[in-house]
Amino acid sequence: EKPSSPSLSPVLSCSSGIQADDNLKSMFVGTVMRKIKSRTWKKQRYFRLQEDCMTIWYKNKCPYSKRNNHFNVACTYSVREGHQSEVLLSIADEFPPDRCFTLVFRGRRGNLDLVAESAGEAQSWIKGIRKLIDNLENMGQREKLDQWICDWFKRADKNRDGQMNFKEVRDLLKMMNVDMNEHHALRLFTMADKSQSGTLEDDEFVLFYKMLTQREDVLRVFQEYSGDGQKLTLQDLKDFLREEQLHEDGVQQYALKLIERYEPSDTAKMLQAMTFDGFLMYLSSSEGSISNPTMVDLYQDMTRPLCHYFISSSHNTYLLEDQIRGHSSVEGYIRALKRGCRCVEVDCWDGPNGEPIVYHGHTFTSKIFFKDVVTVLGNYAFKASQYPVILSIENHCSVEQQKVMAQHLTQILGDKLLKSPLDGKIPIGLPSPEDLKGKILLKGKKIGGLENSMNGVVDDPLMGEKSKQHLSKELSDCVVYCKSVHFSSFKHSQIHSKFYEISSFTESKARKHIREAGAEFVLHNARQLSRVYPSGLRTDSSNFNPQDMWNTGCQIVALNFQTAGVEMDLNDGLFSQNGHCGYVLKPTFMRNTDERFDPENPQNRDGYKPLSLSVQVISGQQLPKVNIKEGSIIDPLVRVEIHGVPLDQAKQETRYIDNNGFNPVWYDTLQFTIHVPELALVRFVVEDYDKTSKNDFVGQFTLPFTCIQPGYRHIHLLSKDGTSIPPSSLFVHVRITKLT
């Protein structure tokens, strides 16, 4: 029995179960709503869900307007009801909350704020879009492939007649990044045109697509292990899993689980065998991914002191753009927290009518109220992770407005704000992320020490040395485990520092300490928290390389989350493990104060065991176009980068392939030596080669070296924004061996 090919009929329109939904029916008909950009920009637009249940199309209500806009449901992250954006809050007096909603998109794309004509219409769209998002998230591999095929069909079918002639097929190939000579394209077209009608429709297009996407690279692996070239018996599959994927324990049960989960043919399932389709489905799934699924989930010990973890941290969280004229917004906090960020920053200044404001001081960046930031923190702090959030305050406020800040923190956050040590006793060390679940910690200056406040002894802030700090007792009392102190030297810290004290370093100061006393910095960070932040000269909100700071155990390495690039790729890569919870346990040799680790000389540490990494880059699949110019096709190359201690920093590239972004094949092998695998990150980058100018970025994927699964693996590429771009991927073979 052959597994049935996907058919376009169910995916060219919504499935009957979804079509029957009343909310979606009204979305198919279409609705006039107001698109809101500001208090003064409110324009009517006609919105309608397309038949594919994936595209929402909207246009100017003016009958003469020909301009259409659209967005894909797959790009929508969530729907917020009511006045849950700054824009909608600004018009709250004009439109009631039950008519308002916000569409939040993935990546760095701005929100879409809408006001419906009635509460009923708003609910239809809110519930309808949520249903479509749920439906997408619950799709299996086969359904996703069907949807992908359907998208291409629709793009190619210019005259919308449900059929494709040869000219449309030729245009489609260019859109798909395929440079194919006309004779070969016509041969495939004729083979697929079973009805000999001169056009492809429904199943014929699916056949054409399958011929186009035939995976010779995977077939070669399949046939190497298949006894008859048609299927993998249970024993064949077990051999493959042991020899290539290096599975050791419970291989029989795992092989049976893979057959049950990915094999589309019922006959093959009964025979406990796997066909080529099932094998390809397995290799394209999360289990065939380069990332070890057991390490993507929460797997680390979360009961260690806070200073034993790397903590996902944001700098100038309120900014959405640059640091001179950029827009300040509570949206910056929502986006960072949703990405698993666990340390956010506020720059507080005296504001009008006694209300503190947040902005980048002495610049033209816009201003937001401190109380609005605290409200957002209360609402979003624990949506992506239950582990503690640190609110890092840069305080420029008068004592009077500091009291207002303390009031807002206490009243808005309530029990979420940690105001005293956990067990009510004088602590002897930092608590763990597990102990602090659901808590928000304030990082800032504090009058006196934790011991003083526990004993009821508080220095008078207006007396002696403390008067220079201009601190309000109310705000000071909100600081418990993260008291900001000036850093003098590692020797001074070792003798005088308390475990609850934290120092902040500019990137240049941190680099100086790393150069001059790397091993001392590591020991300092085993005892207490350190924060590193970008230089004030980075007015464009660019980022420094966080890896240098992680190499010395700095926990709070604050980056501009609003700025895409290799630095944020590394941050996303490090924190992609451990359930995306924003905390990653540091290696043992960085937590133990009895050990000495110098990132500049890693060979000197106990337990030094370098590894060899071999990556054979085999092929790429459906790489996205980078140049929207019609007819342009990419010349892809793959670069593998190792980010880690200085001795491990390395990069190697494959050759580039001329004019093929659809299914390029390399079979190029790249080799690396990894001296400190526990700190290494591996970044796979695809670029469009250009001999006359800088290569264009196509896609990337970054992960910790320790999370790599060996064997034949797919790497599912991400965009510059860190969002997925299915089904773009690389197919590789990975081997990790001990160096003798």
* 459 annotated as ligand-binding: no
Is 633 labelled a binding residue?
yes
What secondary structure letter does DSSP report for 600? T
690 known ligand binder: yes
Q: Say how far residue 387 (Cα) sits from the centre of its chain.
A: 18
Report d(CA 586, CA 436) in Å as an integer. Answer: 18
Coil, helix or strand at residue 330:
coil
Q: In whole angstroms, what is the distance from residue 542 CA to residue 573 CA?
A: 18
Q: Is 689 annotated as a binding residue?
A: yes
Q: Is 155 annotated as a binding residue?
A: no
Q: Counting Cβ atoms within 10 Å, is residue 646 exposed (0-12), middle (13-18) or buried (19+)? A: middle
The answer to whether 543 is annotated as binding is no
**504 has binding-site annotation:** yes
CA distances from 586 to 315, 526, 552 (A): 21, 9, 10
Of residues 412, 327, 428, the one with CA closest to residue 370:
412
SS (H, E, C) 1-42: CCCCCCCCHHHHCCCHHHHCCHHHHHHHHCEEEEEECCCCCE
In the annotation, is 315 catalytic? yes
Query: Is residue 285 part of an annotated ligand binding site?
Result: no
Catalytic residue among 83, 308, 315, 513: 315
Which of 6, 345, 476 is closest to 204 using CA atoms? 6
Strands 68-72 and 76-81: unpaired
Q: Is 445 annotated in some ligand binding site? A: yes
Angle at 378 between CA 374 and CA 382, to 5 degrees: 135
Residue pair 170/133 in contact by the 8 Å Cβ criterion = no
Tokens of 482: 């993260």
Helix/strand/coil (H/E/C) assignment for every residue in 260-278: HHHCCCHHHHHCCCEEHHH
CB-CB contact of 642 with 674 (8 Å): yes
Sequence-separated contacts (24+) of 269-274 with Cβ below 8 Å: 271/231, 271/233, 272/233, 272/234, 273/231, 273/232, 273/233, 273/234, 273/237, 274/231, 274/232, 274/237
- State the Cα–Cα distance between residues 596 and 573, nearest whole angstrom: 27
Q: What Cα–Cα distance (Å) separates residue 155 from each residue in 13, 173, 174, 198?
A: 14, 11, 12, 19
CA distance 371 to 354: 12
545 is in an annotated binding site: no
Q: Residue 42 forms beta bridges with which residues?
A: 36
Q: Assess contact for 125 and 101: CB atoms under 8 A.
A: yes
Distance in angstroms (rounded) separating the CA atoms of residues 141 and 729: 14
DSSP character at residue 294: H
671 three-class SS: strand
Q: What is the DSSP letter of 168?
A: H
Only one residue has tokens 């999360």, namely 286
Calpha distance 688→695 (Å, rounded) = 5
In the numeric block, which tokens belong to residue 3?
Answer: 């597994």
Catalytic residue (choose from 183, 184, 247, 360):
360
How many angstroms separate the Cα of 377 from the Cα of each of 217, 283, 325, 420, 712? 49, 40, 24, 19, 43
The verdict on whether 360 is a catalytic residue reads yes
578 touches 600 (CB < 8 A): no
Q: Which helix (H) or strand (E) holds 384?
A: none
Exposure string for 200-238, b = 16+ CB within 10 A, e = fewer: bbebbbbbbbeebbebebbeebbeebbeeeebbbeebbb
688: annotated binding-site residue? yes
Q: Which residues sit opposite 368 in a β-bridge?
A: 358
Binding residues for Ca(2+): 316, 345, 347, 394, 633, 635, 659, 688-690
Binding residues for substrate: 443, 445, 504, 531
Binding residues: 316, 345, 347, 394, 443, 445, 504, 531, 633, 635, 659, 688-690
Residues labelled as active-site residues: 315, 360
